């Protein structure tokens, strides 16, 4: 019989772990699906790890992974995927904002032969205006870069083992899971779901961390900003041609050039355009530097199954330096 693994990244979610496990257990049992829950504690500062251990006591369905520090959600998802043993693997937030009731529906679609089942938001839930605008801008760029409509995409999805292996085999450290899972292809369908209110705890995303996240992922997934630099350069060049011709005409017709203001403006404009461009290029170089260091995406401090330490099952994210040598 097929087993469904549910990967749940958790960062400071002590209030949600017990409830999420209970709800998932009920939903999956009712639907008659054999399952395992892979709870990844992303270096939480609260009692999340204790809660995971408590939930997993005497329950071999629960695998708990404890990071040595906070590595971010993407890393937690990745570690979860690497350790999941199911034939089909679902990823969802552990704050119950992704309704577990949708899992059986996704599972049926998988049984019908779909390999990627994307969860698509019906609406975005309650968000502040600024937040909405930021998110909208980010997804606009991402949608164009990936050719997939990302506006209502989420990290809630179910994937066949084969798809997960493809994702795991990708060597880059900086991975944008949401876009990668559509990049790999395979037979895909989607299921709509309503984003739920967070019941307890708080969102880990401030507007600032969202902006940082957006930049990192844009750079991780597309080189479009580098083309902005080229286009900006071309525009500047055309404008300077106009100005050069104008200045030459002025010179040869004997008009004195009263150019102080113009020169200052032009110099400042071009100067800032150059610095901006250098900044963009620099950002890519920084990311390349991070990638070639081949640091692992995550470090696992502990792993438990059914309350027992299971260090033999650890799949540390081994660096693949040799590929570069
Ligand atoms: N999360 C994580 N590591 C982080 C930040 C968040 O594993 O550094 C997890 C978090 O525990 C939750 C999911 O990612 O299960 C989504 O986070 P959150 O609910 O804060 O985001 P939102 O739903 O507000 O977008
Ligand atoms: Mg949430």
Residues 103-130 have pLDDT tens digits of: 999 999 999 999 999 888 887 666 667 7
Q: Does residue 14 line the site of ligand 1, with CB under 6 A?
A: no
pTM attached to this predicted model: 0.75
pLDDT the model gives residue 321: 41
Mutate to test the pocket of ligand 1, among 11, 45, 91 (most ligand atoms within 8 A of CB): 11
- With the C-alpha atoms ordered 85, 88, 93, 97, is the resulting torsion angle positive or negative? negative
Tally of helices (H runs) and strands (E runs) in the chain: 10, 9
Question: Nearest C-alpha to atom 11 of ligand 1 is from which residue?
Answer: 10
Does 240 have pLDDT greater than 60? yes
Does 324 have pLDDT greater than 60? no
DSSP 93: -
pLDDT the model gives residue 38: 92
Query: pLDDT tens digit string along 128-155?
Result: 677 777 777 777 777 776 666 666 778 8
Query: pLDDT tens digit string along 158-205?
Result: 999 999 988 888 887 777 787 788 788 888 888 888 887 777 767 767
Query: pLDDT tens digit string along 49-107?
Result: 988 888 878 777 888 999 999 888 889 999 999 889 889 999 999 888 888 889 999 99
Q: How many CB atoms lie within 10 A of CB 53?
A: 19
φ, ψ (nearest 5 deg) of residue 4: -100, 125
Distance CA 103, CA 23 (A): 12
Q: In this structure, what token pair is assigned to residue 140?
A: 């606009």
Q: Does residue 9 line the site of ligand 1, with CB under 6 A?
A: yes
Contact at 8 Å (CB) between 298 and 317? yes
- With the C-alpha atoms ordered 29, 18, 306, 42, is the resulting torsion angle positive or negative? positive
Who wins on pLDDT, 256 or 307? Answer: 307
Does 157 have pLDDT greater than 50? yes
Residue-averaged pLDDT of the chain: 82
- The C-alpha torsion from 80 through 3 and 193 to 121, rounded to 10°, is 30
For residue 103, the CA-to-ligand 1 centroid distance in Å is 19
Does 35 have pLDDT greater than 70? yes
Q: How confident is the model at residue 40 (pLDDT cuts 50, 70, 90)?
A: very high
Q: How far is CA 55 from CA 22, 100, 202, 260, in A?
A: 9, 17, 21, 73
Q: What is the percentage of the chain residues whose pLDDT exceeds 90?
A: 15
């Amino acid at each position: 019989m097929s087993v469904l693994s549910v990967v749940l990244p958790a960062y400071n979610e002590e209030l949600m772990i017990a409830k999420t496990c209970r709800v998932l257990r009920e939903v999956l049992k009712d639907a008659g699906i054999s399952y395992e829950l892979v709870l990844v504690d992303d270096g939480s500062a609260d009692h999340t790890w204790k809660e995971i251990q408590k939930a997993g006591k005497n329950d071999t369905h629960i695998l708990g992974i404890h990071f040595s520090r906070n590595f971010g959600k993407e890393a937690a998802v990745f570690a979860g995927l690497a350790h999941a043993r199911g034939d089909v693997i679902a990823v969802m937030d552990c704050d119950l904002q992704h309704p577990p009731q949708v899992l059986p529906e996704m599972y049926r679609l998988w049984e019908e032969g779909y390999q990627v089942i994307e969860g698509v938001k019906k609406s975005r839930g309650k968000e502040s205006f600024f937040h909405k605008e930021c998110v909208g801008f980010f997804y606009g760029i991402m949608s164009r870069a990936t050719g997939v409509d990302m506006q209502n995409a989420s990290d809630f999805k179910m994937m066949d083992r084969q798809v997960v292996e493809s994702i795991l085999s990708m060597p880059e450290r900086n991975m944008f899971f949401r876009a990668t899972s559509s990049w790999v292809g395979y037979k895909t369908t989607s299921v709509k779901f309503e984003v739920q209110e967070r019941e307890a705890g708080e969102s880990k995303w401030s507007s600032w961390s969202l902006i940082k996240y957006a930049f990192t992922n844009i750079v991780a997934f597309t080189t479009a900003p580098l083309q902005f630099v080229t286009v900006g350069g071309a525009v500047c060049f055309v404008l300077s041609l106009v100005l050069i011709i104008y200045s030459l005409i002025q010179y040869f017709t004997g008009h004195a050039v009263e150019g102080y203001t113009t020169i200052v403006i032009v110099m400042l404009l071009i100067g800032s355009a150059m610095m901006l461009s250098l900044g963009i290029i620099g950002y890519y170089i920084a990311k390349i530097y991070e990638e070639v260091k081949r640091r692992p995406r995550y470090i696992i401090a502990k792993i438990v199954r059914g309350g027992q330490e299971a260090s033999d099952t650890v799949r540390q994210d081994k660096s693949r330096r040799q590929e570069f040598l």
